[in-house]
Structure 1
Amino acid sequence: MKRQACTVMIFTIALLAGCREETDHIPEVAGTTTSQTDITKRLEQQVESLIEQRDQSILVQEAFAETSSLSFDFMTALKTADVSLLKSVISSEFEYKITDDQWLYKLSEEIDGKSHITIYDKKKEIDSWHITYYGAQDDIIGNSIRVFIQGNDESGPPAMINLNFKQFDGQWKIIGLNTDV
């Protein structure tokens, strides 16, 4: 009987020791699972961020294509004195005045005592302008883009024109401009 009790005790101790060895790695597995979950969450966030950046890039690309076309139309309107083309590319926020010989753009605040700048003058030929689009500064979330244009006139120095665009009901329109001339 002692022998049987001793044998049972030895087997029980061995069994308990074996179980303890098997459960010693549970904290390691739990730690590995937690770190894998953290890595998975971080990777999912990175994927979401990259998808947002891709979508933003697509919007910028589409907007730049449209605003470049409108910039070309604006410059064509200036070259040809086409009032209807001008009106098709500007928004109601674009404040201007047309006289017999000039188109004047109303400035938001006076600069050097002037409240308007001349964007077209019948007396000045701009047919010889060579237009270069330098790029754009975008704020797609704010639905605005600024397009930078340089007009090279054969008779004078280059002129910079910055057209400010805003999106209204899915369409881009010119809301303002800045120029260095």
Structure 2
Amino acid sequence: MKTLSYLLLAAAIAAAPAQAQQYKPGTATIASAQGTLRVNSGLVNHFNAHSFYVYSFQWQPQGKDAVWNQVPLLAKPDAVPSEFVFKTTATADFPLSDARVVQAGGKTWLTTAQLTYEDTPYDDNASVELKRYELVRQPDEDRWVFVLRSTRNVGKKTVTQALAAPPSP
């Protein structure tokens, strides 16, 4: 019985933490017919339960002389101020927010998922809200941005489930 207890304890210690996120620390590159998107992920470490990851986005459109653009998230095309990072969060048990980039219909989409709740993330009425951003070029400013196109509540799913099969734009 003691051996089994030690094995279970060792397995619990060796298990991967529940705070998995879509993009691991470093850079993920996503190529499309329109250009190349970089998702940069880094840890903001407070050495406690309040550490988190941030994603920032860079875009290089197709073209010989195309430059890399830092891509903000905008609630509407002329929104100010711009948000240049998306922050992931998690409890010790599950993610509270995360994001995923998807190529669909010849466009690049960013889907963010956020667990919403009244008191704690463990509430029975907790649900996930998805936001869909489209990567677009703003010709008047000659810059690339993610513009919010839709917001919807997908109910009693986890953030991971909601991002596994995000709804179409």
TM-score (norm 1): 0.29
- Largest Rg, 1 or 2: 1
TM-score (norm 2): 0.31
